[in-house]
């Protein structure tokens, strides 16, 4: 996003360079970090819970898989298309007609990925908080036991 802000409204050559940087980072750096996070998380869960993990673990795994799917199969092609459109723009001396529309599509996919990622983080935070609340809550006694 920072690269996009810095290259928007400048020369077409700088726009193409910025799109190349974004395309490289989204195709090489982000998936590597994501896979490292997922694999290390799975190893930690197996070491902690074994194969009978709680429901929140499966929710996080499903959301993480969804994030990766949207990022890889939807966001990735749009990012590469934007880089190609930026290079077309440099070659033709004008911004490609479909550049803004493709950029908006990429933004929508980015919002979906962000929402899924924040939901995954919410589950990670909710799990420890809900466990502490249940552990501190005193056990209720039955009304008949309280009178005796």
Residue 39 lies in a domain: yes
Residue 145 lies in a domain: no
| Phi, psi angles (nearest 5°) of residue 53 | -75, 150
Residue 92 lies in a domain: yes
Residue 126 lies in a domain: yes
Q: What pLDDT is attached to residue 11?
A: 78
Residue 54 lies in a domain: yes
Please give the residue range of the domain that contains residue 125.
Answer: 2-135
Question: Angle, nearest 10°, between helix axes 12-24 and 76-92?
Answer: 160
Over the stretch 60-74, which tens digit does the pLDDT of each residue have? 888 988 998 898 899
Residue 44 lies in a domain: yes
Q: What is the C-alpha to C-alpha distance for residues 102 and 108, in angstroms, rounded to an integer? A: 10
Domains: count for the chain: 1
DSSP state of 8: T
At 39, is the secondary structure helix, strand, or coil? Answer: helix
Over the stretch 2-55, which tens digit does the pLDDT of each residue have? 676 666 667 788 888 888 888 888 777 777 888 888 788 888 888 988 878 888
Q: What is the C-alpha to C-alpha distance for residues 101 and 64, in angstroms, rounded to an integer? A: 28
Over the stretch 83-127, which tens digit does the pLDDT of each residue have? 999 999 999 999 999 999 999 999 999 999 999 999 988 988 887
Q: How many Cβ atoms sit within 10 Å of the Cβ of residue 41?
A: 15
DSSP 55-84: HHHHHHHHHHHHHHHHIIIIIHHHHHHHHH
**Residue burial 6-18, b: 16+ Cβ < 10 Å; e: rest:** ebeeeebeebbbb
Residue 15 lies in a domain: yes
Residue 20 lies in a domain: yes
């Amino acid at each position: 996003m920072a690269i996009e802000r810095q290259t928007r409204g400048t020369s077409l050559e700088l726009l193409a360079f910025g799109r190349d940087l974004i395309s490289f980072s989204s195709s090489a750096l982000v998936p590597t970090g994501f896979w490292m996070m997922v694999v290390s998380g799975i190893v930690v869960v197996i070491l902690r819970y074994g194969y009978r993990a709680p429901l929140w673990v499966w929710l996080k795994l499903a959301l993480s898989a969804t994030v990766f799917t949207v990022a890889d199969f939807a966001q990735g092609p749009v990012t590469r298309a934007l880089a190609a459109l930026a290079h077309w723009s440099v070659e033709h001396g004008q911004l490609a007609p479909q550049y803004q529309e493709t950029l908006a599509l990429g933004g929508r996919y980015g919002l979906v990925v962000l929402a899924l990622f924040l939901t995954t983080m919410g589950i990670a935070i909710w799990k420890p908080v809900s466990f502490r609340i249940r552990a501190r809550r005193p056990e209720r006694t039955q009304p008949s036991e309280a009178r005796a």
